Chain A
Amino acid sequence: MERLYHLITMTISPTKPRQLPKIDPVTAQVLAGALNGIALEMGHKLARMSYSSIIRESEDFGAAILDADCQQLAECAYSTPLQLGPIPGYMRGVLKAMEEDGEEFYPGDVILHNHAYYGASHGPDIGIGIPIFRGEELIGYSFTTAHHLDIGSSSPGSCGIVDAVDAFAEGLQFKAVKIYEKGVKNRQVWRMLRQNIRSAQVVVGDIEAQVAACRVGEQRFLELVDQYGLDTVLAASEVLMNYSERMIRQAVEKLPDGTYSAEGFIDGFLDDPDPSKKDLKIAVTVTIVGSDMTIDLTGTAPQVDDRPINMPFVGTVDIAIFVTLRSVLLDTALMEYVPQNSGLARPIHIVAPKGCLANPIYPAPVIARCCPGNIVADTLMKALAQVAPQNVSGGIGNIKVVSYSGAVDEDYWVYMDITEGSYGGRYGKDGMDGVDTLYANTRNNPIEDIEAHLPLRVTRYELIEDASGAGKWRGGLGSIRDIQFLAPGQMSLEGEGNKYAPWGIFGGEDGTPGGVQILNPDEDEVQILPSKFPCRKTKPGDTLRTISPCGGGYGNPLKRSPALVVEDVLDEFLTVESARQDYSVVIDPVTLDVDQAATASLRQ
Chain B
Amino acid sequence: MKLIGVDIGGTFTDLILADVAQQQTWIHKVPTTVDDPSIAMIEGIETLCQMAQADYGDIEHVLHGTTIATNTLLTHDGARTGMVTTKGYRDIVHIGRHQRPQHYSIMQDIPWQARPLVKRRDRKVVSERLDPKGETLTPLNEAEAKTAILELKEAGVESIAICFLNSYFDARHEERVANLAQELYPEAFITTSASIFPQFREFERFTTACINAFVGPKVKRYINNLSQSLKKQSVRGELHIMRSNGGVATADVAGEQPVTLLLSGLAAGVLGGAAAGTQSNRDRLITFDMGGTSTDIGIVTERGFAEATARDTWIAGYPVMVPMIDVHTIGAGGGSIAYVDTGGAFRVGPRSAGAEPGPVCYDKGGTEVTVTDANVVLNRLDPEYFLGGEMTIYPEQAFAAVQALADRMGLDLHETAAGILTIVNNNMANAIRSRTIQKGQDPRKFALVAQGGAGPLHAAEVALSLGIPEVIVPRYPGITSAMGLLTTDLKHDLIQNEFTLSTEPNLSKLNADLQSLEEQVKAQLRADGFSETDMTLQRFADCRYVGQGYELRAQVPGGILDETVLQSVWQQFHDLHTAEYGHAFPENPVELVTLRVTGTGPMPKLSDFPAPAKGDLQDAWLKTAVTYFRVNGQLEKYSTQFFDRDRLPIGAHIEGPAVIFQKDSTILLPPHSRTTVEPNGNLVIRVTDDSPIDKALEMATAQSPA
Contacts and interface: CB of A to CB of B under 8 A. Distances in A.
B200 A449 contact: yes
Contact of B104 (A246, A330, A570): A330
A463 B437 CA distance: 42
Interface stretch (B33-41, B63-71, B86-94, B388-396): B86-94
Given A33-B430, A247-B343, A340 B104 contact: yes
B165 A447 contact: yes
Contacts of A77: 103
B581 to A, nearest CB: 5
A381 B433 CA distance: 39
B634 interface: no
B202 A447 contact: yes
B113 interface: yes
Interface string A455-470: 0010111110000000
A423 B113 CA distance: 13
B345 A459 contact: no
Instruction: Name the residue in A81, A202, A441 with the highest tally of chain B Cβ atoms < 10 Å from its Cβ.
Output: A441
Given A47-B550, A449-B201, A334 B107 contact: yes
Contacts of A227: 694-695
A212 B426 contact: no
A56 B545 CA distance: 12
Interface stretch (B6-14, B558-566, B582-590): B582-590
Given A56-B550, A212-B582, A227-B694, A479 B91 contact: yes
A30 B422 contact: yes
Given A336-B341, A443-B98, A48 B547 contact: no
Nearest to A329: B104
A79 B585 CA distance: 24
A326 B344 CA distance: 19
A444 interface: yes
Contact of A29 (B423, B433, B434): B423
A435 B98 contact: yes
Contacts of B623: none
A26 interface: yes
B696 interface: yes
B427 interface: yes
Contact of B583 (A49, A336, A448, A449): A49
A510 to B, nearest CB: 19
Given A50-B548, A216-B582, A423 B347 contact: no
Contacts of A24: 411, 419
Interface in B108-154: 108-110, 113-114, 119-121, 131-132
Interface in A38-61: 40-41, 44-45, 47-53, 56-57, 59
Given A26-B346, A446-B200, A41 B104 contact: no
Interface string A324-339: 0011101111101010
Contacts of A393: 106
B503 interface: no
B628 interface: no
Interface in A238-268: 243-244, 246-247, 250
B107 A429 contact: yes
B105 interface: yes
B343 A442 contact: no
A28 B342 CA distance: 16
A392 interface: yes
A49 B697 contact: no
A462 B165 CA distance: 13
Interface string A178-210: 000000000000000000000001100100100
Nearest to B205: A448
Contact of A331 (B104, B427, B696): B104
Interface in A408-455: 418, 420, 423, 426-427, 429, 432-436, 441-444, 446-449, 451-453
A434 B344 contact: no
Interface string A289-310: 0000000000000000000000
Interface in B625-647: none
Contacts of B107: 331, 333-334, 391, 426-427, 429
A434 B343 CA distance: 35
A435 B94 contact: no
Contact of A326 (B94, B104, B200, B697): B104
Contacts of A441: 99-100, 103
Contact of B90 (A40, A49, A244, A462): A462
Nearest to A481: B95
Contact of B581 (A59, A212, A420): A212
Nearest to A428: B107
Instruction: Name the residue in B91, B92, B343, B409 with the highest tally of chain A Cβ atoms < 10 Å from its Cβ.
Output: B343
B94 A463 contact: yes
Contacts of B203: 446
A212 B583 contact: yes
B123 to A, nearest CB: 9
A327 B168 contact: no
B185 interface: no
B166 interface: yes
Nearest to A220: B437
A41 B94 CA distance: 30
B445 interface: no
Contact of A572 (B120, B343, B580, B694): B120
B120 A457 contact: no
Contacts of A48: 548-550, 580-581
Interface in B585-626: 585, 588
A340 B110 CA distance: 22
Contact of B547 (A52, A331, A392): A52
Contacts of A460: 88-89
Contacts of A27: 697
Contacts of B341: 336
4 nearest A-B pairs in the assembled complex, by CB-CB distance: A56-B549, A51-B547, A25-B346, A571-B120
Interface of B: 88-92, 94-100, 102-110, 113-114, 119-121, 131-132, 165-166, 168, 200-204, 341-347, 409, 411, 419, 422-423, 426-427, 430, 433-434, 437-438, 499, 545-550, 580-583, 585, 588, 694-697
Given A29-B345, A448-B200, 18 more contacts: A24-B419, A45-B581, A51-B547, A215-B582, A227-B695, A247-B342, A250-B343, A333-B102, A333-B107, A338-B343, A340-B104, A429-B109, A434-B91, A434-B95, A451-B166, A452-B132, A457-B131, A463-B95
